[in-house]
Structure 1
Amino acid sequence: MKLGHDVKTGQTWSLTSWVSSEDPSPGAFSFKLHENLKLSITKDSQEYWTSGQSFLDKSLSGNFSNFSYVNDENGTYLKIGRGNNMSSLTRLVMDSSGKLNQYLLKQYEESRFYEESQLYGESQWLLIWQQPKPTCDVFALCGSFGACNSMESPNCNCLPGFLPNSSREWRLQKWSSGCLRNTPLQCGSKDRFLVMENVTIPLYPITLVGLNVIGCEIECLKDCSCSAYVYDGRECTLLMGELQNIVHNGGGKIELFIRVAASELEKIDGDFIDMTLSSNSRDKREVALITTLPVIFIMLIFSIFAFFLWRKKLKHRGKKETGLDLLSFDFSTKTRAVNSDLSYENKSANGDNKWEAELPFFSFSSISVATDNFNEANKLGQGGFGPVYKGKLLNGQEVAIKRLSRGSGQGLEELKNEATLIAKLQHRNLVRLLGCCIEDEEKILIYEYMPNKSLDFFIFDAKNKSILDWEKRVYIIEGVAQGVLYLHQHSRLRIIHRDLKASNILLDNQMNAKISDFGMARIFGGNELQANTSRVVGTYGYMSPEYVTEGLFSIKSDVFSFGVLLIEILSSKRNTTYHFADSLTLLGHAWNLWNCDKEHELIDPILLDSSSLSKSLRYINVGLLCVQELASDRPTMSDVVGMLSNEVTALPSPKQPAFCTRSNVEKASTLNRLPIASTNYVTITSIEGR
């Protein structure tokens, strides 16, 4: 079966439990695939368990699970089949208790792996995989400020200094309501900390370096939203807001310092005495704080002096600085000459792979702070490369930060491609790349922030499309055409974008069109006109026929994509999701109207008036010329710009576009088409601009 989303109907494919083993009515639990490629179980539409990572991680699937991901024009979904080249029969069951179980037919029991497996009841099926395993794996099982302990019954208890929010629900072992403080915090130095040992803390806290345990406590006391901290001898970790997913005695070796009002020290139950700081210990730490502060201050002064001395030595030795601080960097005054020509070395199995980009490299820690530790509230959208976040610098300037996700089909090659390309390009209709970060497994690109989001946010939305009147759309069309012409003809490198689409056209505060996302772009040599690839990348509906079927791409491939985009802007409809009569796509519908002299029916009614009608019909003609089936029939972008700007010159009649009727789509599908390697179908437009 499929698990995921049907793009055409909006339907979600999920695996839902029964009410009970005897009642097959839809139960409370469902197993789903999210857009971020994580698996999850929900209970009554609330998150109950999540994989915490992409399904591509092999640890999620047993030896007999075969998870494969499909992202095409029909949907985005996960298929679960047979694994390890064995003809084994397996079944996946979402049971009424909230357990996701995978079973294997008993006939393969002689294998060593199966002999160690658990026989399920008296049936012929072996249980080989199950999630969630321990009770404490259930997401937020104990609610806010609750701690889960799988070795105790009941499994949930409130943290010291807290009481159940609903005593009745806790008696029924319904812990999701969580716990509340006995006494409100003082939000200052009067608050104290209780120590809970052997815990596991939630992911993605705020981590600070260069602090001792006293400095860590001081940092937590400065912020009233800080609920706890952890100090492991090297790093200080702050936990903000409501604490969830705290696991006690689950294998973790961490000491958790829980912030409570000072009066709570006298109320702690006997069960927590061994985990609570004594007043004597508190006095000792206060004395240590007073005596340590002058030493810390002296060491700080010495460290600053040593840092500037180190920088001076590097400058004299001709060494280059890396890992700049994004927060203090001022892009409005500093040019690309600052920290330019930095090189990054990536040592692969085949040897040394070096590349250079003429732009600043920033430290991951400063990027993390700028995005509030990649807070979901700062997330602008999601694309094939990964999520995009809004970052804010100390001077108030905003930037867009694109972070490679581990589940992405793209990687270092695409990032290197985009960084080395955009760093060498300068045009008002190309998005500006400000910097990047490559640190351990993190790969990040930093762009100028576009407050008006991307083009698809406007033209494909019933409400927002009215914002773009005829003049604004003409301005955007001409801007995109100029940007593509620059890439093909006027830049010092001839570049084929290969993924030109509405979601990759960003709009600044003056509605200037900016072409973005050069991860798929290719550079052509001086006399090179066409190239072939065995790895087709791009987005269905925008790719030219010769590229889809044969892997051939040229400047005419971008012309085809521009033609699709032009018709989409005029009609306010997507090419891939629009259906009319025998036409599978918007291009087919446009072609039919053209042949019937009804092309004006293609134009969005909000754009039609006596002054724009003739020019809009000319634009449709240009769009159909760009999407003709044969690349040789299509104009160049230089010709396109001339046709758009010169209203006097007569235009030739277009030939039939590619992929416009059911018959020629089915014909194309029978060819030995190369696999599409891109996961870039999802647009990056979401709640906010980037």
Structure 2
Amino acid sequence: MAWLSGPQDWDIIWDVPLNQSIYGLCGAFGVYRKNISSPCECLIGFEPFSTDYTSGNDWSGGCVRKSSLQKCENNTYANGKKDWFMKIPFLRLPGNSKAYSAASARYCEVACMNNCSCTAYAYNSSGYCMIWEGALLNLQQLLDGGEIMYLRRAADEHQSTKGKKWKVWVAVLVPTTGLILCLFICFSTKGKLKRIVTNSYQTREKASNNNLLLFDFNTELDAINEEMNTNNNMKKREKDFELPLFSYESVSIATNNFSAVNKLGEGGYGPVYKGKLLRGQEIAVKMLSKRSGQGIEEFTNETILIAKLQHRNLVRILGCCIERDEKILIYEYMPNQSLDVYLFDPIRKKVLAWETRVHIIKGIAQGLLYLHQYSRIRIIHRDLKPSNILLDSEMNPKISDFGMARIVGGNETEANTNRIVGTFGYMSPEYAIDGLYSIKSDVFSFGVLLLEIISGKKNTGFYNSSSLNLLKHAWGLWVYDLSLELMDPTISYPSSRSILLRFINIGLLCVQESPTDRPTMLDVVLMISNERAPLPKPKQPAFTTGRNMMDTNPTIDTARNCSNNSVTISIMEAR
């Protein structure tokens, strides 16, 4: 107010309400502070947009940053630095936030850090993350109560009490380390050390730049595949194809620190967890056991190789993580779990109607045919069983778990190994006894799986007065023309009994003892699709004469090689 000469009266020049009621009174990044001489102040790290503010009259222009934030569009950080967050308590928060549920405050921080427009975030006890983009308006500092906001600050503003000591250590260690490294590189044969250092740096760099929470697999991987398909140069195509590498920190946040609540199961290779990304996409995260025997190079090469297999009946590998001595695979999430969850459960198996079972059989056959014949590399799975058949939301089957798979040459059809891996009950006799595996080994496993899907019974757990396994039981019914009795009694018979008999015939053809008698997967697919084509009569299946393959192969040591359930052998070998 001012006292004017002339009429004895006060002239009001500027006033401020006792309580802030004018929206944005202090402008962008300005804070209203009650009971102080100057009601508006800039947040720490900001300065008034105009020097006229200090005279006190108009803060509508707000405040501006003293130091610029990182240019995060390309996910790089200048001089190895990145922005940080400053904690500001006792605030009345702005109302223009984007709010969504989040697993933790750290989850919220990562989301803000990777959002180029994010200037602040807050996380409340109800599990909601609030993110502000652009200018912060209508901030008010309270004397008590309020909430905590984390303001994004520029990397150059981050000060540490140990900064000087750190710089001294760097000044001493960096030249010394560099000299030693240079000498090592110079005297290393064929530049091997240089390649290791370079690859290790690139791996860490890629992992730190790829945040799993913000990745959109539906668009980014499709873009990679499109680029591969349009490139005619094989060498450039292989060079350009890179499976996404994600940071361990982002994988941990996506799975809520690998919480037991998110655990989907655990196999011989390690536990599997369910994860969720910021866009809502669900994933499956498999942590490989440190006892798997694979090194980083073998793990990376194999993962990229399998990731190149693209088929609707194969589970898709989305990425991986190699950090902190951990080797982690990221898969697409299958909401309906594995086939064995339904097939061998007396209640859930009713979900698998005859049409659904036929659909699953056809999908598995198509997936195997792709692996054996149409993929760029010929794959023998070696561990085909119901638990390795996953079901998506529409009950489409997808073959999974390629940990025991072997790659053979394009013209090769068989190979030999001294280490038997796989699951008893699904292993062909020539492989279980002599270690000889081929594409016909997978055909045998498919035949067992087909008969299990029809009957709803396990091959290894089937016992009655006359049969020790499902194969012998199915063969006995076939010989006496009683094969319709093999049908799972919990579901209705198909409208055409001949279709059921045809599938049983195909299953028995696949489990014949001699590999040469078994059809290929191409033959199987043609038999399934052409319902009127005549089928050959099957010969007696393997493992129906009572011989004990455990006795005939002394190299198999169940106490040493089998898992806790005495079913799956889990000997690992590099590929």
TM-score using structure 2 length: 0.60
Answering whether residue 552 of structure 2 is matched by residue 670 of structure 1, we say: yes
**Farther-moved stretch of structure 1 (400-409 vs 538-547):** 400-409
SS in structure 2 at match of 1:332: helix
Does the C-alpha gap of structure 1 residues 430 and 209 become closer, same or farther in structure 2, counting only changes over 3 Å?
closer
Distance 1:367 1:417, change over 3 A: same
Alignment partner of 1:633 is 2:517: yes
Q: 1:409, CA displacement in angstroms?
A: 7.6
CA separation of 1:613 and 1:511: change in aligned 2, threshold 3 A: same
Residue number among 330, 333, 344 corresponding to 2:216 in the alignment = 330
Residues in 2 aligned to 1:330 and 1:422: alpha-carbon distance in whole angstroms: 20
Indicate whether 1:642 and 2:526 are aligned: yes
- Tell me which of 297, 303, 312 is aligned to 2:153: 297
Please give the secondary structure, in 1, of the residue aligned with 2:246.
coil
> What percent identity do the matched residue pairs reach?
58
Q: 366, 369, 379: which one pairs with 1:485?
A: 369
* CA distance in 2 between partners of 1:536 and 1:476 (Å): 28
2:500 corresponds in structure 1 to: 616
CA contact (8 A) 2:433 2:552 kept: no
**Aligned residue in 2 for 1:385:** 269
Alignment CA distance shift 1:575-1:671 (3 Å): same
Secondary structure in structure 1 of the residue aligned to 2:221: coil
8 Å CA contact 2:354–2:493 kept in 1: the answer is no
Indicate the SS of the match to 1:481.
Answer: helix
Aligned pair in 2 of structure 1 residues 520, 427: CA closer, same or farther (>3 Å)?
Answer: same
Residue 249 (structure 2) aligns with: 365
How far is the alpha carbon of 1:510 from its aligned partner?
A: 1.4
1:537 to 402, 415, 421: 421
Q: Higher strand proportion, which one?
A: 1
Partner of 1:11 in structure 2? none
What secondary structure is seen at the aligned counterpart in 1 of 2:448? helix
**Alpha-carbon distance, 1:222 to partner:** 5.2
Change (3 A) 1:360 1:682: farther
Partner of 2:319: 435
Task: Select the structure that is richer in helix.
Answer: 2
Shift of 1:582: 3.8
Give a deviation string over 1:271-305, Cα, whole Å, max 9, x none. xxxxxxxxxxxxxxx9xxx9xx99x83447789xx
Mapped partners of 2:259, 2:157: distance in 1: 33
| TM-score (normalizing by structure 1) | 0.50
For the pair shown, the structure with the greater C-alpha radius of gyration is: 2
Partner of residue 652 from structure 1, selected from 526, 533, 536:
536
Question: d(CA) in 2 for partners of 1:428 and 1:339?
Answer: 14
The aligned runs of 1:235-634 (5 Å cut-off) are 297-299=153-155, 321-323=205-207, 324-335=210-221, 358-406=242-290, 415-416=299-300, 418-609=302-493, 611-634=495-518
Rounded Cα–Cα distance in structure 2 between residues aligned with 1:445 and 1:480: 22
Structure 1 unaligned regions, length at least 5: 1-187, 191-204, 212-218, 227-285, 304-317, 342-354, 685-690
CA displacement at 1:208 relative to structure 2: 9.8
Distance 1:617 1:554, change over 3 A: same
Asked if the contact 1:500–1:542 (Cα under 8 Å) also holds between the matched residues in 2, the reply is yes
Q: Which SS does the other structure have where 1:333 is aligned?
A: helix
Q: Name the aligned partner's letter for residue 341 of structure 2.
A: F
Q: 1:483 deviation in Å? A: 0.5
Unaligned runs of 5+ in 2: 1-87, 91-103, 111-119, 128-143, 160-200, 228-238, 569-575
In the alignment, is the contact (CA less than 8 A) between 1:535 and 1:551 conserved in 2?
yes
CA-atom RMSD in angstroms: 3.9
Q: Tell me, what secondary structure is at the counterpart of 2:506?
A: helix
Give 1:656 deviation, angstroms.
Answer: 1.5
Give the superposition deviation at 1:410. 7.3
> Letter of the aligned partner of 2:220 in structure 1?
K
Q: How many residues get paired? A: 384
Query: Separation in 2 of the partners of 1:366 and 1:474?
Result: 40
User: Kindly tell me: are residues 391 and 338 of structure 1, through their superposed partners in 2, closer, same or farther at Cα, counting changes over 3 Å?
Assistant: same
Structure 1 residue 512, shift from structure 2 partner:
1.2
Aligned pairs (5 A) from 1:149-164:
none
2: CA distance, partners of 1:477 / 1:338: 31
Q: CA deviation at 1:575?
A: 0.9
| Closer/same/farther in 2, CA of residues 591 and 357 from structure 1, 3 Å limit | farther
Aligned-partner Cα distance in 2 for 1:667–1:539: 13
Preserved CA contact (<8 Å) 2:424 2:567? no
**CA 1:531–1:410: 2 relative to 1, 3 Å:** same
Q: 1:222 to 1:189 in 2, by over 3 A?
A: farther
How far is the alpha carbon of 1:640 from its aligned partner?
A: 0.8
Distance 2:422 2:124 in 1: 46
Verify the 8 A CA contact 1:384 1:682 in the aligned structure 2: no
Cα distance change of structure 1 residues 667 and 399 upon mapping to structure 2, 3 Å threshold = closer
Task: Call closer, same or farther: CA 1:499–1:667 in 2, change over 3 Å.
Answer: closer
Check 1:404–1:647 CA distance in 2 against 1; reply closer, same or farther (3 A cut): same
Contact 2:338 2:391 (8 Å CA) reproduced: yes
Q: After superposition, where does 1:117-132 map in structure 2 within 5 Å?
A: none
Q: Distance in 2 between matches of 1:577 and 1:609?
A: 24
The 5 A counterparts of 1:162-181 are: none
Q: Report the 3-state secondary structure (helix = DSSP H, G, I; strand = E; otherwise coil) of the residue aligned with 1:447.
A: strand
